[in-house]
Amino acid sequence: GPLSERHLLDVRLGELPAWLATCDFSPQGLLGGVQKAWSSYCDKYINVKRGGPAGISMLLAGYCLLSYGWNYQHIKCHRWRKYH
C-alpha cells in the first residue's frame, strides 16, 4: 500500500525518512495517533473474547514503573535517613 498508510513496523529503514515526512505532527494529528494507539491496545489486550489478566496487569505494571520513576528522587533521599 501507500507509504503513508503503513504502520511503523511495516516501514523499512530506508523508507523511514519519507514515512516520517508523511506523518501529521500537529496537535490534532498527535492526539489522533494517541487515540488510535489506545484503541488498538484495548482491542488487542482488553476487549478480547478469551482474554486473561495480561492487558490489565501490563497496564498496572506500567503505572507502577511510571510512578516509581516520578518519585525516584524522593525515595532516594529517604533511603539514607535513620529513624532513631
Residue 77: its pLDDT value, please? 67
Instruction: Please give the DSSP secondary-structure letter assigned to residue 24.
Output: -
Q: List the alpha helices (DSSP H) in 1-84.
A: 16-22, 27-41, 54-70, 72-79
Gap between the Cα atoms of 62 and 18, Å rounded: 32
Residue 28: its pLDDT value, please? 94
- Those residues of the chain that have pLDDT short of 50 are none
Residue 46: its pLDDT value, please? 79
Q: Where are the domains of the chain?
A: 15-78
Closest CA to 41 of 60, 29, 56, 63: 56
- Retrieve residue 83's grid coordinates: 529513624
Residue 31: its pLDDT value, please? 94
What dihedral angle (degrees, nearest 10) is formed by the CA atoms of 43, 60, 32, 39?
Answer: 10
pTM (two decimals) = 0.50
